[in-house]
Amino acid sequence: MCIWSGRSQPTISEPQRRKAETSKIISGFLFFQFGSKTSRGTVMAPSLAQAYRRRWWMAVTSIIENLFFSAVLLGWASLLIMLKNEGFYSHLCIENETFATNRSLVEGGRWPSCVEQEEMLNLGFTIGSFFLSAATLPLGILMDKFGPRPIRLIGSSCFAASCAMMAAAAYDPEVLSVLIFFAVSFNGFGGICLTFTSLILPNMFGNIRSTILSLMIGSYASSAVTFLGIKLIYDLGVSFRLIMWVWTGLACFVILNCFLNWPGESFPAPEDSRYTKKMRMNGIVTEDRVTGDRYITNVMIMEDTVSPKPQESEKRHSENASTVPICRSVCSPIFLWSVVVMAITQLRLIFFMGAMNKMIEFLVTHGDPNPSVELRKETEDQVAFYSSIFGTMQLLCLVTCPLIGYIMDWRLKECEEEHVNISTSKSNSAPPKRDRKIQKLSNAIRAFIFTNFLLVMFGVISLIDNLPIQVLSFALHTVVRGFIHSCCGGLYAAVYPANHFGTLTGFQSTISAAFALLQQPLFILMVGYLGGDPYWINVGLLIFSLVGFLLPCYLFYHRRGLIREKAQLDVIAACQSEKENEDLIQSNCEDEGSSKYGNIPNGHTG
């Protein structure tokens, strides 16, 4: 209702009134769909309550967006074939055409290919994969301050720009090949922005958070299949430039979806007090049929809401967690060992993705520096075939990631709450439950042992000089890549305070990405000095992979200390409980005695 100060309300005609009502209806619909408004009528970001109502839409679209717009750069094997066919850095082969052993002409009038071209393109993959991992630390800091909405908008815009740059560079690759470095950098940065922001969305799903989170990680890890699908379309005769322009347009829909549905503030964790059950009293008017009296009955209604004020106990817990300095967590042996394991695993996986086509080529030609035309054609076909198999297997991540999530959540339902009141928990006669922190640590030990075993098996199979059996190494590579991130995340959640999780994950990803830059000199060593033979590099990486078993060994030692500490606390608690029971019995006896003699007034029996 409008209030006119000092003025009479103007008369409104019937058409104007209908127009105003229609405007109100449309405005209300837009408000419900897109968010709150300012006084000027501009659409703002949705609130957390509105985002909570749209959480299923956001979850489904995030999984689809992760699959098509996140870590697609990990499908480098398929993209590399298209870039070489489009002539990116093929002018390096023309400039060095005097070296016949260093150059291979592709039949059918297509662009030539050479080692120099492959080194330059692999450098682009190295830079892009670095941004795909190293940006997590600054993104975590920015997202804690500004929320996921601006990060996701910037990331989707960068991804759209990367596709546009690839399309533009394909018009004149001899001059614009340098754009591929900017394109893969924007692609990696934009992809990790979409991935990183989607990982906090499962906080809106309470008890099924682990399931939604595993689907997010699985869709991120499976996004390498996207370039395989694009290559299949490319092989049908569709222009590379047209594909990239269409992909740019699809990325704009990601921007629009984020603008309309994602809130400006971060999603709180399910244990956060902002997710509470709000009790609302509704007055329902009823009438007594006998007396005719009317009265109001108060009815309790449970309502899901987002409450702005935390409870006092959770305030105290968050204050205790915030008192732990981040330096203590960063310098702890568990975190340092996890960084070492993650860095070695990341280098192993990234090197295989970058050098896979050359490995397949060597298995076909067996290092022949001057292959025949037939052998060269067979090599090209085998590389295309096995790179397609590798890309297809990336979908295994959607199936295998929930498995490692199940291992990390093993028997957690049988555990006691981490911050339960001791007096309350000791008052009942129920058998003692498992300690949640120790159980999480035990699950992390099993997960790391299993993942490292698969990584070693992957390294052993990579040494076998047999092309069909390498399909098994493709599957193991995909599974390990999906498992290792979940293992580290579960370990950090079990050992460190919750407010350190993002910073520790960012530090670990940045250091691992920096260490993975070694894959470029390893690739140059393989195609240069070793003549394309990856055997000795694979042997060295296999030996380094054995270091990964030292982390679960240390975790086992750390768990023994926690078990001893818990046993001591249980003994102390039991002694205190016995003492309290004795004091209670003694006080009850004294109360009974005083009440017995207190019934005799003035010392006389009644």
160, pLDDT greater than 90: yes
pLDDT of residue 30: 36
The bridge status of strand 275-287 relative to strand 113-114 is: unpaired
Task: Point out which residues pair with 298 in neighbouring strands.
Answer: 283
pLDDT of residue 499: 72
When mean pLDDT is compared across 24-28, 86-90, 115-119, the lowest value belongs to 24-28
pLDDT of residue 1: 39
Close Cβ partners of 366 (under 8 Å, ≥ 6 residues apart): none
Place of tokens 């690839």: 166
Span 38-55, mean pLDDT? Answer: 68
**Residue 57 confidence class, pLDDT cut points 50, 70, 90:** very high
pLDDT of residue 496: 83
Whole-angstrom distance, CA of residue 266 vs CA of residue 145: 9
pLDDT in tens, 504-529: 888 888 899 899 889 889 999 998 88
Percent of the chain with pLDDT over 70: 72
* Residue 392: count of CB within 10 angstroms of its CB: 15
When mean pLDDT is compared across 63-77, 276-290, 415-429, 583-597, the lowest value belongs to 276-290
Close Cβ partners of 182 (under 8 Å, ≥ 6 residues apart): 162, 165
Percent of the chain with pLDDT over 90: 23
When mean pLDDT is compared across 180-194, 311-325, 342-356, the lowest value belongs to 311-325
Backbone dihedral region of 478: left (phi > 0), alpha (psi from -120 to 50 degrees) or beta?
A: alpha
CATH topology of domain 328-418+433-584: Growth Hormone; Chain: A; (1.20.1250)
Question: Regarding predicted confidence, which is higher, 374 or 28?
Answer: 374
Exposed, middle or buried, 101 (CB in 10 Å: 0-12/13-18/19+)? Answer: exposed
pLDDT of residue 5: 41
Residue 197's nearest CA partner among 250, 153, 247 is: 153
Q: What is the DSSP string of 255-320?
A: HHHHHHH--SSPPPPTTSTTEEEEEEEEEEEEE-TTT--EEEEEEEEEEEEE-SS--HHHHHHHHH
Place of tokens 């619909």: 29
When mean pLDDT is compared across 42-46, 220-224, 448-452, 461-465, the lowest value belongs to 42-46
Residue intervals in the chain for CATH 1.20.1250.20: 43-272
141, pLDDT greater than 50: yes
Cα 566 from chain centroid (whole Å):
33
Cα angle at 179 between 174 and 180, to 5 degrees?
Answer: 95
Q: Are 603 and 452 in contact (CB under 8 A)?
A: no
The CATH number assigned to the domain with range 43-272 reads 1.20.1250.20
103, pLDDT greater than 50: no
pLDDT in tens, 406-458: 777 776 666 665 544 444 444 444 555 667 677 778 888 888 999 999 999 99
Question: Regarding predicted confidence, which is higher, 303 or 254?
Answer: 254
Prediction pTM value = 0.70
Span 544-563, mean pLDDT? Answer: 89
Secondary structure (3-state) at 37:
strand
Close Cβ partners of 63 (under 8 Å, ≥ 6 residues apart): 198, 215, 216, 219
Distance between start and end Cα atoms, the chain: 76
158, pLDDT greater than 70: yes
Span 146-169, mean pLDDT? Answer: 92
How much is the CA Rg of the chain, to the nearest whole Å?
A: 32
